Every structure is written in structure tokens, then in C-alpha cells.
Amino acid sequence: MRSKKGKERATHSFHNPHSRCLFLFVYIPRLSFSLTGNAIDTVPHISAASNPSPPPITEPHSSPSIPVPADSLGVMRKVLGSLITDFGRPTSENWHLTKKGGRLVLFKGCVRLVHTTCQISVPGTSLRNDEKVLSNISRDKKTVPDADPPNTKDVHLLYEFLNQSTKLTVLTGAGISTECGIPDYRSPNGAYSSGFKPITHQEFLHSSRARRRYWARSYAGWRRFTSAQPSAAHTALATLDKAGRIDLMITQNVDRLHHRAGSNPLEIHGTVYTVICINCGYSFCRSIFQDQLKALNPKWAEAIDNLDHGNPGSDKSFGMKQRPDGDIEIDERFWEEDFIIPTCHKCNGVLKPDVVFFGDNVPKDRADMAMKASRRCDAFLVLGSSLMTMSAFRLIRAAHEAGAATAIVNIGVTRADDFVPLKINARLGEILPRVLNMGSISIPAL
């Protein structure tokens, strides 16, 4: 069967009762393959135009190219733009040329067809036992709020929500990073529960003492903060993102754990990995700033480096607690008078982390991009956010008013509970891998 004008893919399948395998014939036009024996040497020249990745806001990031392996099990991975599909390796008899240069390919494997949607297992998500997922979550971490394991009903509801979406916007908050040892603010175990008050934008601008306190504590906590690793939830989202299932991922977090997992989200609140001058706008890498702080404060830096910072899941750094923005609480005598902060080498201005402090506004370009995605999506998913900040709440409200399906996975109440129909109370590192492990998340046919 042929496609019409290359837009629809004609398919035909039959079931062999003896082999109990599904054989699928797929007509694929305009693909360029080079065969050596039974392996594919080159990647098809096609892009996934249906789900273009949004332009990055800071530090442009591009996913590395994915190699096409030929492993001992004979599994061939075919890369089509950002879509990845696993099938049994075709033999030379499986390939049939058509008159117009397309190829009629017979694949042997587990593939399901639903009209124009080919359901494909997303690589990297095949966890055979739910126990394996649960074992990767340390339930005694003080940064992670208490929650029962997700039940089967909730897993299925979230699966259906994702499976029915065609233009999905995802918003993540601090709750996705608590399993990595980075606390949130508002949960029962969060920073606010111990009386912590984060620095405000006005304090940072107008108080040199506040700046010394912030940078001293941030310098002290930087090593622990950057040692945190992405969780199973970060990895699951990166898998969906690479498969073209997410139109735009927005994060309130400043920790860059999504990037380390392989995603490139819109960082609506910025990142602590960049330092910016509030006077001239010059920005540079935080690691350079760390070196400058160390050079200006050698004795103080040496004392910090000699301390045991513990592991990312502990709270024993200086006997105090890690904070959500990467700093730790330390005694005033460490920073009150002697701690020296470098200034901008271009204009001698004040340097701050490129984050949106409390009381500041989200930059217009980021806010506009996030709002545009929220209004055009057909599904909006919140993961690990209470939505208490207006910059986050207005996004899901806009999606709801535009008629999009909405869902929240968060431990505890949120600001949008009154109008969001699907609310799941679960740890993200437990539920997201189980959702992907249920089966295939449908991907529109090419």
C-alpha cells in the first residue's frame, strides 16, 4: 500500500499464530539507508517537524547525536530525528524497494498500531520490576516529603493523560529535586519549616551585608549542591522529551538537573550556574566566580574545603542544612566582616546569580515563551510544584482557560487544586518510571 502525497503512511500487519510475533509492514518514503550486511550504517535523513524543540533561553544546549548500535542481541535502533524506536534487526530479505524510491520494511518485534498512531516503546524506560524503581528512592532522606507509593490507579490515570496529549507542556518545581538531596521551600520538610527566609531581590541590591551573607553561604554549599545527581524522574522526563512527546518543558528550578539528565528546559527562574552583573548585564560561568571567591578569601576557603560536606542526601554540612538555592546556613563569624566579593571586571558593578530572587520579576522573554506554550498546548502537567508563585500559577491557569487538559503530581496542596481535575499525591521518582514502564507512549506517525 502506498501513502498519499507522503503525508499518510500505509500499513498492513498480520499475526503468525505459531511464532506469536507481530509482523509489521511500513512504507517509509524519502529515507536514505546504507546497508552493510544486516546493519544500518547511516541515520535516515528526516527530522521530526511535528514537535520542534523550543529555542533555549540561556547557554544554548543541544542533545548529542545518538549512535546506532549493533549489539550482541541483534537489536537495531533506528533514529528518526528526535524519535527513537527499537525493533528486531532486519535482514536483507526484509528490505523491498518501491518504484518511488521508498522502502517497504518488514520489522519483527512488539509494535502496536492504532490508526495513524504507531505506539513505540521509549528506550531507556524498560524497568522490569517496580521494586527496582522503589529501591532507587531513599525513603529516609529528610529532603523528601512523606508519601505513600503510587497506586496502580494513579499510574494508569497519569499514563492515559500523557498518552492522549499531542502538544504537552510540562512545568517542574522543587519537588522533582528533593529526591536528589535538594530541599524545597513549602513542604513539611522544606526550608520554611525551620524558619528559613530566602534573600529578597531588594535585600541583595541594597545591602552589602546581605550580599556577603548570600555569597559566603552559597560558596560554602556549592560543592554539595553541584554533586547532586538527576533522579529517576529527571531521567524519565528526558526520555519523553527526546522522543518528541513534550512541546515545552518549563522549570522553576535553578539546579540544572534537567540538563544533566539530557533535557533543555526553559529556566523561568534562571540558574545559579551563571553569574550576571546587575549594572552592565555581563554574564559568565559560576565556576569562574567560585575561583575568584577562593582567590580573594584563601584562608576562609581552605577552612571550608577541609570540612566534611557529607553526601548530597545528608544535612551535615557545617552541622546545618542545605538550602534550595544552593547555599547553606553558617555562623555569622565566617562572613560578617572578612568575606570579600569580587565585582564585575568590566564595569566594577555588583554581581549576582542569574536567578529570579523573591520580589523580582521573571524576564519578559522567558515569561512570554512560557505563556505562549501554555496557551497553545492541549495538555499541561505540573510536577513537584505547589504553584504558590504567580509566575507558575498563571501558566496552568492560562492553559485551563484555553481548554487544555490539566494534571498535577505533587506531595501536598497546590494553588490550582480547585480547578485541576487530576491531582496525584506521589513521589515523582516513583510514579514517572512506572508510567513509562506500563507500555508505549503513543507517538504520532511520521
Q: Which of 43-47, 123-127, 181-185, 298-302 is most confident?
A: 298-302
Residue 392, all three cell numbers = 507558575
More confident site: 86 or 254? 254
For the segment 389-433, what is each residue's pLDDT rounded down to a tens digit? 999 999 999 999 999 999 999 999 999 999 999 999 999 999 999
**Lowest-confidence segment of 221-230, 258-267, 400-409 by average pLDDT:** 221-230
Query: Do 152 and 158 form a contact (C-beta atoms < 8 A)?
Result: no
Pairing of strands 75-80, 39-40: unpaired
Residue 330 has pLDDT above 90, yes or no: no
164 is in an annotated binding site: no
Q: Is 411 annotated as a binding residue?
A: yes
Q: In this structure, are residues 45 and 31 in contact, taking their beta carbons and an 8 Å threshold?
A: yes
Report which of 328, 207, 345 is spatially closest to residue 289, judged by C-alpha positions. Answer: 345
| Residue 359 reports pLDDT greater than 80 | yes
C-alpha span between 12 and 3 (Å, rounded)? 12
Indicate if 96 belongs to the active site. no
Q: Which of 27, 13, 7, 9 is nearest to 103 (CA)?
A: 27
**130: which 3 cell numbers?**
517496580
Confidence of residue 259 (pLDDT cuts 50, 70, 90): very high
Q: Is 358 helix (H, G, I), strand (E, B) or coil?
A: strand
The span from the CA of 124 to the CA of 131, in Å, is 17
Sheet containing 95-97: give its strands across: 11-16, 21-28, 103-108, 95-97
Distances in whole angstroms, Cα of residue 275 to Cα of each of 207, 271, 292: 18, 9, 12
**Distances in whole angstroms, Cα of residue 322 to Cα of each of 230, 304, 341:** 17, 15, 21
List, as one string, the DSSP characters of 281-304. --EEEHHHHHHHHHHHSHHHHHHH
How do beta strands 270-277 and 351-355 pair? antiparallel
Under the banding of pLDDT at 50, 70 and 90, the label for residue 327 is low
Is 377 part of any known ligand binding site? Answer: no
Could you say which of 259, 269, 309, 400 is catalytic? 269
Distance, CA of 407 to CA of 380 (rounded, Å): 7
Query: Which of 254, 237, 259, 375 minimizes the C-alpha distance to 323?
Result: 254
Measured from the Cβ of residue 36, the count of other Cβ atoms closer than 10 Å reads 9
Lowest mean pLDDT among 13-17, 189-193, 210-214, 411-415: 13-17
Helix axes 152-164, 428-437, angle to 10 degrees: 70
The region that residue 387 occupies, defined by phi over 0 for left and psi between -120 and 50 for alpha, beta otherwise, is left
Structural contact between residues 405 and 379, judged by C-beta atoms closer than 8 angstroms:
yes
Show the cell assigned to 438: 506500563
The Cβ of residue 219 has, within 10 Å, a number of other Cβ atoms equal to 24
Residue 112, strand partner residues: 119
List, in order, residues 6 or more apart from 311 with CB less than 8 Å away.
Answer: 181, 227
Q: Which of 396, 395, 405, 407 is nearest to 370 (CA)?
A: 395
Q: What is the pLDDT of residues 148-180, one digit of tens each?
A: 899 999 999 999 999 999 999 999 999 999 989
> pTM value?
0.65
Q: Is 412 annotated as a binding residue?
A: yes
Measured distance CA(92)–CA(39) in Å, rounded: 9
Written as one string, the DSSP assignment of 93-139 is GGEEE-TTS-EEEEEES--EEETTEEEEPPTT---S-HHHHHHTS-T
253 marked as part of a ligand binding site:
yes
Residue 254's SS3 state is coil
255 is known to lie in a ligand binding site = yes
Beta bridge partners of 40: 35
> Nearest Cα to 71, choosing from 88, 92, 95?
88
Taking the C-alpha atoms of residue 435 and residue 135, their distance in angstroms, rounded to an integer, is 16
- Looking at the chain, the whole-number percentage of residues with pLDDT higher than 90 is 46
pLDDT, one tens digit per residue, over 21-55 is: 444 444 333 333 333 333 333 333 333 334 444 43
pLDDT bracket for residue 224 (50, 70, 90)? confident
What are 71's three cell numbers? 549489539
| 344 marked ligand binding residue | yes
Grid coordinates standing for 410?
505533587
Contact criterion met (CB below 8 Å) for 387 and 419: no
Is residue 288 scored above 90 in pLDDT?
yes
The helix (H) or strand (E) run that includes residue 363 is none
Give 92's pLDDT tier (boundaries 50, 70, 90).
very low
CB 169 within 8 A of CB 381: yes
Distance CA 190, CA 256 (A): 20
341 annotated as a binding-site residue: no
* Residue the block writes with cell 566566580: 289
In this structure, which amino acid lies at residue 290?
Q
Listed in sequence order, the residues at least 6 apart from 320 whose beta carbon sits closer than 8 Å to its beta carbon are: 328, 329, 330
Q: Is 254 annotated as a binding residue?
A: yes
